[in-house]
Chain A
Amino acid sequence: QALLVQSGSELRKPGASVKVSCKASGYSFTYYGMNWMRQAPGQGLEWMGWINTNTGDPTYAQGFTGRFVFSLDKSVSTAYLQINSLTAEDTAVYYCAREGSGITAAARDWGQGTLVTVSS
């Protein structure tokens, strides 16, 4: 049974950085890429991109280039999302998610979400 557990809520001031973690268990970490999604308060889901957990190569969606960084620590089966130069518009719940066995281009398993609040 795959499980993705994300780090807890974060409060940051504008201009600061934040790093969200997503620890995977119950499956071979490097077998499935890790996707990241954003959901602003009261808004819909946005696909931010994904990271190849085998090679570490990231792919960023339009609108998520420059300040957003996907990374990995394969030794602890954990993916990370770092956001730099935070603004109030980055306030959102961030989710990690992976495809499942036999499933293409759909997120079978999701983390519980991490709320990032940016406020002075």
Chain B
Amino acid sequence: QSALTQPASLSGSPGQSITISCTGTSSDVGGYNYVSWYQQHPGKAPKLMIYEVNNRPSGISNRFSGSKSGNTASLTISGLQAEDEADYYCSSYTSMSTWMFGGGTKLTVL
């Protein structure tokens, strides 16, 4: 199984909105509404930002939102802030009853 496909890097200015894509197949992203997104700052454990495509855990800012169309899921961060600079990973449940992560996207806030 190959990792889900994410852009390696993205950048945006404070206040802007950015969208990170996560492309899989009908056996993972497209087949289940179990796509999640994680934020990871250097040297820290990942933090769940979105689960089941578009749900935010308690305590996560509504500036973070998720969506899915076909085999591609997306994470949108609106009103970009300096603290949003981090690595972001998508993950999906798969037809093999496993989880699969994307390769990660490094977000830079200019």
* Chain A residues in the interface with B (C-beta under 8 A): 35, 37, 44-47, 49, 59, 61-62, 95, 97, 100, 103-108, 110-113
Number of interface residues of B (CB under 8 A): 27
* Residue contacts A-B, CB under 8 angstroms, 27 given: A37-B46, A44-B3, A44-B103, A45-B38, A45-B46, A45-B101, A45-B104, A47-B91, A59-B97, A61-B98, A62-B1, A95-B45, A95-B46, A97-B46, A103-B48, A103-B55, A104-B34, A104-B52, A105-B36, A105-B52, A106-B34, A106-B48, A106-B91, A107-B36, A107-B38, A110-B45, A112-B45
> Chain A binding site: helix, strand, loop or mixed by DSSP?
loop
| With A105-B34, A105-B36, A113-B45 as contacts: A47 and B57 at CB distance below 8 Å | no
Contact with A along B74-106 (1 / 0, CB 8 A): 000000000000000101110001111111100
CA A108 to CA B52, docked complex, whole Å: 12
Q: Check B51 against A103 for contact (C-beta < 8 Å).
A: yes
Q: Check B101 against A46 for contact (C-beta < 8 Å).
A: yes
CA A111 to CA B44, docked complex, whole Å: 10
Q: Could you tell me the distance in whole angstroms from the C-beta of B24 to the nearest C-beta in chain A?
A: 13
Q: Check A106 against B101 for contact (C-beta < 8 Å).
A: no
